[in-house]
Amino acid sequence: MERALAVPRLPPHDPGIPALSVVDMHTGGEPLRIVLAGCPEVAGPTLLAKRRYMRQHLDHLRRRLMFEPRGHRDMYGAVLVPSELPEAHLGVLFLHNEGYSSMCGHAVLALGRFALDFGLVPAPPADVREARVNIHCPCGLVAAFVECEGGRSRGRVRFHSVPAFALATDLLVDVPGHGKMAVDIAYGGAFYAFVSAERLGLDICSAKTRDLVDAASAVMEAVKAQFKISHPESEDLSFLYGTIVTDGKDTYSEEPTTNICVFADEQVDRSPTGSGVTARIALQYHKGLLELNQTRDFKSSTTGSVFTGKAVREAKCGDFKAVIVEVSGQAHYTGTASFIVEDDDPLKDGFLLK
């Protein structure tokens, strides 16, 4: 019996439905499930077209991978696809509990390691200590820089963002249960609303996660109802992705500043949120609270994990003054898995508890 079970193999299943093989990673506690095999071709001439195709024709795969019983409410995923950009090493579609993101920083940090270790980029010479991986995200091309030794990754990764900018500052929003309050909105590959926990009557470090989620969700719904989000270059990017509740410490300090990100369908990021850190740095730079190449640490209120970020140079996005932001963090492998589907399983496409 022990010998028979020693070699992993798939149980009997419908051969007409390919097994889904994945590599699981995490960055700062936030999971990333990378699809290795089993996903049908995602059609489309551009990455954004592929994103639309997957939403319309392959959404059952997102649910199978993200939802219970194979995943959970806060699972996050990545499907690798070819890019139309000649300089890109890979393209990626991001998956979550509600749909498809335009950018994900923690995933980019993990994918940098993955791309190097799984041969998606040429192995660097043995004496090279950092390898560049160009990742085409729905928001644009993002460059990841992976610490390495002997051609293998070592865990620490940094990335340079797409142009990040402040969309609106001190926007007055009427939030049910909390009244009128000033909210900032900024873009870091995805749009976020920012509000301090104090304005919501909470303490970011001691409040229960459920209370922070409820308050962040109320802010998100209020902003969606009262303010039109518009990206200057693409309608596909013109949506509010999440709310980031902060400790309000936006003025530069050598001490970490703490936040929590609630996005999609009340999904909670365990990391400090890479694209959220990008947007927050753009916001602080816009307000004159941060200078170029002034490094700050951003801490997750849920896990205590830390990302480091800085604005490295000025840029433009449409008519908006923007910055390119560098974010760094530590990515880790957690394992591999293969998932099958039995055609008579009523929950084959997954479920979420409300």
- Residues labelled catalytic: 104
Element (H, E) at 160: strand 152-160
What sign does the CA torsion over 237, 242, 243, 247 have?
Answer: negative
Pairing of strands 152-160, 296-300: unpaired
Helices (H) and strands (E) in the chain, counts: 5, 17
Pairing of strands 130-137, 90-95: parallel
What is the per-residue burial (b if ≥16 Cβ within 10 Å, else e) of 19-35? ebbbbbbbbbbbbbbbb
Torsion of CA 267, 337, 189, 266, to 10 degrees: -10
Pairing of strands 306-317, 296-300: antiparallel
Residue 164, both tokens:
């990040």
Interatomic CA distance for residues 113 and 144, integer angstroms: 9
DSSP, collapsed to helix, strand or coil, labels residue 186 as: strand
Tell me phi and psi for residue 52, to 5 degrees: -65, -40
Closest CA to 138 of 206, 191, 74, 69: 191
Interatomic CA distance for residues 21 and 275, integer angstroms: 27
